[in-house]
Amino acid sequence: MYISNHGIPLSLFQTAQNASLNWFRSPLAQKEPANTNNSLKNKGVVGYRPRQTQHINPWESVDVRESFSWRYDPVYDPLHSSSKLEEIPAHVKKYVDHDSDGFPWSVTPKEFSQPVIQLYQSILNLGRWLVRLFALALGLGEHDLDEKFTWPDVGIAVNYYPPIIPPQQQHQEAEGEKQKPKVSIGSHTDFQLFTLLYQDNVGGLQVLNAEGQWLNARPVEGTLVVNFGDYMQRITNGKWMSTVHRVVNHSGRERLSMAFFWGFGLHESCGVLESVLEEGEERKYGEIGCWEWVQRRIEMMRGVKRGLEESAA
C-alpha cells in the first residue's frame, strides 16, 4: 500500500536522504563510533551496523546493507516536548527511557542527525493521524487506539544498500552460502503494527502477494510505502496480514531507504480486537504483552538461525 498527500514536504525527505547518503559514504572509521556495540544502554538495538553484519533470513544470503537504527526517545516526541521526564509513569518508564548519553546521535555529525530527527518528528505526527484512520477502518472509535501510542515504540532504520555484485565478480564463498539467493535485506515481516517506508528512486523493494509471487514495490515520488506488521495481523485476527518483503538491489547504484516502525508502547498488550470478529469467529491469537512479543520474535529468529547452522555442521 502507498500513501500520498500525507502532508510532509518532499524536501524534508530529500534533505534527510542526502544527509544519510553522505554519512554512509564516509570512511568506516568515522562511522565506527556509532557502532551498536558501543551503546551502553541499547547494545544491538540502536546505532550503526556495518556492511554484511546482518542476516535477517538464514535461508537467503547475508544482507548486503549497512544500517543506522534508533529507538523512540520521548525528548524528541512533539507530543511530550513540554512534559518532564519525571512525569513518565513508572510502568511506562521501564521500557521508555531517555538515553542521557544521547547515543548514537552524540557521536554523529549534526549534518546527519538534524535532518533525520526533524523527519522523524514529522513522521510521529503523521503516524498518530494514520492510527486514527486504522481505528475507524477496524470498527473502533477514531481515538480508541490513541492511548497505545502515547509512549509508542517507534523505531527508525536508515538503510544503505550498495549494489549487489553479480555472482561472477564475487569473492570465494562457502559452498552453502553460494547457493543462497543474494539479497540486500532478506525476506521478513516487520514486528510491529505498521511501517512507514520512504525509499529513494532506485527500486529493489519487493512484496510477496497471497499467490506467493514477488511484486516490485516501485518507487513513486512523494509517496510512502505502508507495510503491515505482525501486530496488525494479530489484532485483526489475520484479516490484515503482515507483509512479507525483501530488497534486492540489482540496479548497479547505491540505494537508501528510511523505515519507521510503528508499534504500540512496549508496556501495552496486543490482542485480537472485538470489533473485527464476526459472530462466532474464534480468536486465532492470544493476548500478548508488546515487550514479550518483540522478545519472542527476536528469539524465534535466532532459533531458526541456530537450527540451520546446526543442521549444516
257 touches ligand AKG by CB under 6 A: yes
135 touches ligand AKG by CB under 6 A: no
Q: Which does 236 bind (CB under 5 to 8 A by kind): Fe ion, ligand AKG, none?
A: none
**Structural contact between residues 243 and 231, judged by C-beta atoms closer than 8 angstroms:** no
233 touches ligand AKG by CB under 6 A: no
Query: Which residues make beta-bridge pairs with 66?
Result: 160
Question: What whole-number distance in Å separates Cα of residue 102 and Cα of residue 91?
Answer: 22
Distance of CA 59 to the CA centre of its chain: 20
- List all residues 6 or more positions away from 149 whose beta carbon is below 8 Å from its beta carbon: 127, 128, 131, 262, 264, 265
* 165-204 positions binding Fe ion, by CB under 5 A: 190
199 touches ligand AKG by CB under 6 A: yes
Burial of 277 (0-12, 13-18, 19+ CB in 10 A): middle
> In the numeric block, which cell numbers belong to residue 128?
498518530
Q: Which does 159 bind (CB under 5 to 8 A by kind): Fe ion, ligand AKG, none?
A: ligand AKG
Binding mask 141-170 for ligand AKG (x = CB under 6 A): ----------------x-x-----------
Strand, helix or coil at 74? helix
Q: Which does 247 bind (CB under 5 to 8 A by kind): Fe ion, ligand AKG, none?
A: ligand AKG
245 touches ligand AKG by CB under 6 A: yes
| Angle formed at CA 75 by CA 72 and CA 78, multiple of 5 degrees | 90
60 touches Fe ion by CB under 5 A: no
Q: How far is the CB of 120 from ligand AKG (least distance, A)?
A: 15
Q: Which stretch binds ligand AKG (CB under 6 A): 47-55, 125-133, 197-205, 295-303?
A: 197-205
- List all residues 6 or more positions away from 169 whose beta carbon is below 8 Å from its beta carbon: none
Question: What whole-number distance in Å separates Cα of residue 228 and Cα of residue 285?
Answer: 17
Looking at the Cβ atoms of 200 and 268, the one nearer to ligand AKG is 200
Looking at the Cβ atoms of 247 and 294, the one nearer to ligand AKG is 247
Task: Please say whether the dihedral angle defined by the alpha carbons of residues 276, 279, 283 and 287, taken in this order, is positive or negative.
Answer: positive
Amino acid at 98: H
Q: Which does 157 bind (CB under 5 to 8 A by kind): Fe ion, ligand AKG, none?
A: ligand AKG
Question: What whole-number distance in Å separates Cα of residue 58 and Cα of residue 303?
Answer: 10
Q: How far is the CB of 245 from ligand AKG (least distance, A)?
A: 5
Site for ligand AKG, rule CB under 6 A: 157, 159, 185, 190, 197, 199, 205, 245, 247, 257, 259
The footprint of Fe ion (CB under 5 A) covers 190
